[in-house]
Every structure is written in structure tokens, then in C-alpha cells.
Structure 1
Amino acid sequence: MRVHVIDQGNRRHFADQLDQHHRLRHDIYIGERKWRALRGSNGREHDQFDLPSAIYLLALTEDGEVAGGTRLLQSTEPTLLGEVFPHLADMRPYERAPDVLEWTRFFVAPRFREEGRLCQTGGLVSAAIIDYCLRSGVRKLNAVGETYWMPRISSLGWRPRPLGLPISHDGMSICAWTIDVTEYALQTTLRAYELEASRLALPSNGRPDPMDQRRHRTFA
């Protein structure tokens, strides 16, 4: 399994995988977690931040099934923190710059979750987030999420800094934080999940790498 970077340059090569990802987002965020603020269409979840500039990191099996993933947004464009939850940053300012991204929509598909241990698919995606940012010259990640994420990512060595106090929203406790992207965070994440290295697959000149030229089958 590898984590593939899907952006404007190679998106057409991963149309089936992006569709799977939107179906999974619907099943997880609307079906399982009951996020009432979200709206689905035809069994898929999209929001106003699924812009052409959005970057998706998707963990794919060899036959093209989406096992997990996340989304990264350009902080200089509309983001969840900037447009919907700016009041979550009432104690500390945050940056919006070309080398700052916003991290959103982390998930692991149900059949790839592991009870009683750290989920390896989640670890692959987590390591890929930091690895991608390091390779791309990204200095910081901003994020809005449920408050329980703070101790989770702290345990990975990500050292999140809260931007304000948690609030109750839609039946959840949520907060905002920022993270410095460091080699230390990558190495501690790899150690936490007992991974020898990141499995990030970067696009090359707008094309998938050679292992992706195989035919992917579509999953409903």
C-alpha cells in the first residue's frame, strides 16, 4: 500500500479513487459520525473546500481500493478555519501563506481499521502528511477538528499549538491548532507505527508513477 498525492496535475488519472474517497467521506462523516452540518449528494460528501487546488493524499491498495486518506487546502484560499471557524483562533493568530496548508478530512475506511492497536493505514497517511509537506517546502499546518485529536497527534510528536479554547459545535467539542512541519515529527510518526519509511508516492510531471499505470478497478 502506498499513499498517492492527487492534485490538479494528475487528478484525471485517479477519477475512480477520488469518487471512492467522496463515498467514504459520506459513509464516515455523515453516516457514522452524524455530522449534521454536512450534506451529501448521491451517496457522496463534498463541501465548498473541495476546490481545484485541493490536494488529496489517498492510501491505495495495489488494485486501487482507497484504504484511507486526507485533504490539504491552500491556506491562501478559502478554508474551514478562515471562512467558517475564525473564532476558534481567538487566543493566537495563525498564518495564511503559500507555504502553509490546512489539514482536513482524515479518515480510514472501515475494513482497514484495527482494533486494539495503532491502525497501520492511519499511520501511513499520517506519515505521508508530514513527508509531503517536508518535500513541498510547507512550514506549517493549520487544522480544525474534534478536541480528542490534540492528544493523539501530540503522542506522534507533532506538537500542536492550540489557537483558542475548544467550543461545543453540532454536539462535538472542536478546536483549532497549528503544527510546525519538522523532520522530527516524521521520524516520531514512523517510530510510533513501526514503519521503516514513508510510503508517499509523488506525482511526476503531472503523471502517476509507473506502478499506477495498471488498470484500477472501481469500487462502489
Structure 2
Amino acid sequence: MLFTVSAGSSSEDAAMRAMFEARKRVFVDLLGWDLPILDGRYEVDQFDDVHACYLILTDGEGRHRASARLLPTTRPHILDSLFGTLCEEAPPRGPDIFEITRFCLDRGLNAARRRQARDTLVTALVEHALKTGISMYTGVAEIGWLQQILAFGWRCRPLGLPQRIDGMMLGALRIDITRDTPALLARAGIRSEQPETRREAA
């Protein structure tokens, strides 16, 4: 099931908790990022506030498979607050521009299921953008993941040259979303599993 949990919503607490636990297992336990941990179980930072929106993909038993956080660029977000030097020009901003952060694939998935979850979440991000009037996504990615994102078939380009920061080679990017983006993804082999969808209002 795919949950779209909007700012301030609390009725999908189980999906949210599963997401924050998965983020801790991936970004702290696996990748070793220095991030705040709540109750020893949840990775939650200063951007997890009432302005954030989450797309959360779960299995039939409610277990986390994949998730992403969207942040409005009209407010402080990761690219402009922490990694603005990755952009040759000022980071893109606007009411129709959102930043994708914490793109998380559950560690318990095998390679095939990780690919399915990744593709489903990518297509869900595009569908969400088309439904809500988002024309562009921005983001920061480690070089290996950045190269994958650039190869997904959508209109995507770097915002500057990658740089080594805190021991990681990072790059900033923009993804332009238009009506033909789903077809571009499909042409590149990125297809959704068509999960049952539940949208949670703000």
C-alpha cells in the first residue's frame, strides 16, 4: 500500500513509525550518517516538521518497503540550508518546486524486491507531482545514487559539479516533471507495481 501522508497528519502513525525506523537502519546503521536518533529507534531531524510530506510504500502486513520525504523549497530545506555550495547558481526555489529527501529502501528486501520498490516509489513521486502541481524536484545524492537517478529516463540534470563533503562525493540535481514524464520512465524500464493507494489529507 502507498500512503501519502501530508503535513501535520497523525492518523497513519504505524506507517510513519515504520518509515522512521527504516531510515535509522539505512542512514545511521548502514551508511553511518551522523543524524539525531529518537528513543534509540527513529531517525528524525529538524526537517521532519509540519511542512514535510511523505510517500510511504508498505507491504500487505504494514511493513516498510520504501519511502521518501518531500520538503517545500519556499522554506529552509537540505539543499539550501546544508549543501548550497553544490549548486553553480542559487538553489531552485518556488511554490511548485519540492526537494526529495530521505529516499529510503528497506534493508530487508532482496535485490529484486528493492528494484520493484524503488521503481514504484519513483513513479509515485511523479504521479504525486502531476496531481499536486509540482513542476520540479531537487535533491542531493551520493555519486552512485546520483548516477542511477540521472539514468531513470526523466528530464534530470546536475545543478553543479559533485564535491567531496564529509567523506562522501555528493551532487545536487533537478528533475523536471511534465505530462510525458511517466512515459519517459516507462521507456527506461521504470514501472510501478500499481499498489493500493491511500491518501491522507493534511
Does the pair score TM above 0.5? yes
C-alpha separation in 2, matches of 1:198 and 1:190? 13
Pick which of 179-188 and 21-30 moved more.
179-188
C-alpha separation in 1, matches of 2:196 and 2:54? 12
Corresponding position: 1:143 with 2:139: yes
Corresponding position: 1:88 with 2:86: yes
Aligned residues: 200
CA contact (8 A) 1:142 1:176 kept: yes
CA contact (8 A) 1:150 1:160 kept: no
Give the SS at the match of 1:119: helix
1:125 to 110, 121, 124: 121
TM-score of the two chains, using structure 1 as the length reference: 0.82
Counterpart in the other structure of 1:50 = 48
Where structure 1 has 5 or more consecutive residues not aligned to the other structure, the ranges are 208-220
4+ residue runs over 6 A deviation: none
Counterpart in the other structure of 2:184 = 188
CA contact (8 A) 2:106 2:114 kept: no
Pick which of 173-182 and 153-162 moved more.
153-162
CA contact (8 A) 1:123 1:193 kept: yes
C-alpha separation in 1, matches of 2:170 and 2:137? 17
Which string of whole-angstrom CA distances, capped at 9 and with x for unpartnered residues, describes residues 83-116 of structure 1?
A: 1111111x2343211111001111111222315x
Corresponding position: 1:99 with 2:96: yes
C-alpha separation in 2, matches of 1:200 and 1:131? 14
Give the SS at the match of 2:79: helix
Where structure 2 has 5 or more consecutive residues not aligned to the other structure, the ranges are none
Corresponding position: 1:70 with 2:97: no
**Aligned runs of 1:109-124 on 2, under 5 Å?**
109-114=106-111, 119-124=115-120
Give the SS at the match of 1:126: helix
Which string of whole-angstrom CA distances, capped at 9 and with x for unpartnered residues, describes residues 61-88 of structure 1?
A: 2222111111100111110011111111
CA contact (8 A) 1:128 1:200 kept: no
C-alpha separation in 1, matches of 2:190 and 2:153? 12
CA contact (8 A) 1:68 1:107 kept: yes
Counterpart in the other structure of 1:212 = none
Structure number with bigger Rg = 1
C-alpha separation in 1, matches of 2:86 and 2:150? 19
Counterpart in the other structure of 1:30 = 28
TM-score of the two chains, using structure 2 as the length reference: 0.89
